[in-house]
Amino acid sequence: MTTSTSAASPSGADERPYSPGLEGVLAGETALSKVDGANGRLVYRGYRIGDLVERGTYAAVANLLWTGDWDPAARLATGPVPDVVLTTLRALPTTAKPMDALRTAVSAWGATQTLDWPPTAEQARALTAFSPSALAAFARIREGKDPIEPDPSLSLVEGFLYQLKGEKPDAATARALDAYFIVGAEHGFNASTFTARVITSTKSDIVSAVAGAIGTMKGPLHGGAPSEVVDQLAKMGTVEHAEEWLRGALDRGERLMGFGHRVYRAYDPRAAALRKVAEGMEHKPEWLELAIQVEDVALRLLAERHPDRPLKTNVEFYAAPVLMGVGLSPDLFPATFSLARDAGWTAHVLEQAASNRLIRPDVKYVGEEERDLPA
């Protein structure tokens, strides 16, 4: 039986406040990450995101989220794709969106697994290892190429790029993408993570939770922004034309993609971590060079136009050139973001299951009063 906490007036009306989008509403507790938007800070289990990027790997961060233990030697490689999943991917049209293909592959993979309740860290690890192989397989299939078997000697990020391109990445490329995976791994009760927790609260399995999270991430208000940053940088072309283009966009009232955030009112710490990695690359891809130079111009213009509004760089601004720089096409960006977020999604599944209560909020009725059917 569900206990009601309704607060009704004598007339029967529900007087409780309503917050559109649940903004500001505490919907749970977590020990996984703290997002401090006012001060531009992000920590995973107490560890600063900048330190994790500088000294850690995606494997170590994923293990930290799943277990609470920091093990810098943790290993995580890509996993095999069962034949039934490859058959499913080959049956999709080559025009299918990568997010749809990833969601479909995860669901098909789940049908091959024994997923008892409660979910386990082993299940989380297997799903996180499988997903990059599945996305890489689809990307090759749609180009008329055969999928590549995983190489267990490579890290998950190296393996993903190898299975995508057919050649092993250089250390700088792998490092840049690994940094992106780290900053994308976890970010509190965002829309897709909350979806995963709602599904888990029904005692459904970990694959259903992640499939639902992927469906949520597909929405352009959540996971689609980095590709729009690419379009923006392409229109500027060079840093010499950047200020003119940016001023024109602001004069037209257009939003500058990669700046401003629903939570952060200071510089996004994930963007700071990615910029530091980018600046440390010996041979920066041209997309990174352009982004680094354009950012300073954009921040100066935004401060001039909106001195009372904190519009700072967000993670998408550097995610876009990093993903382009490692050789990914823009339509793969949201799905690659999902691969990074697998660690966080599955960690939230484990946390929800550990002290589970069905997530079932109330809703305020604003329809017609009770009435009789017309004669």
Q: pLDDT (tens digit, 9 = 90+) per residue, 290-314?
A: 888 888 899 899 888 888 777 888 8
The confidence band for 354, taking pLDDT boundaries of 50, 70 and 90, is: very high
β-pair type (47-48, 41-44)? antiparallel
- Calpha distance 292→303 (Å, rounded): 17
- Return the minimum-mean-pLDDT range out of 8-22, 182-196, 228-242, 361-375: 8-22
The reply to whether the predicted model has a pTM over 0.85 is: yes
Q: Identify the CATH assignment for 225-325 out of 3.40.50.720, 3.10.180.10, 1.10.230.10, 2.160.10.10.
A: 1.10.230.10
Of residues 92 and 236, more confidently modeled = 92
Q: Identify the CATH assignment for 47-221+329-354 out of 1.10.580.10, 3.40.50.1820, 2.60.120.200, 1.10.3720.10.
A: 1.10.580.10
The confidence band for 3, taking pLDDT boundaries of 50, 70 and 90, is: very low
pLDDT at 6 exceeding the cut of 60: no
- All structural domains of the chain with their residue ranges: 47-221+329-354, 225-325
The mean predicted confidence, pLDDT, of the chain is 90
Catalytic residues, which ones? 261, 316
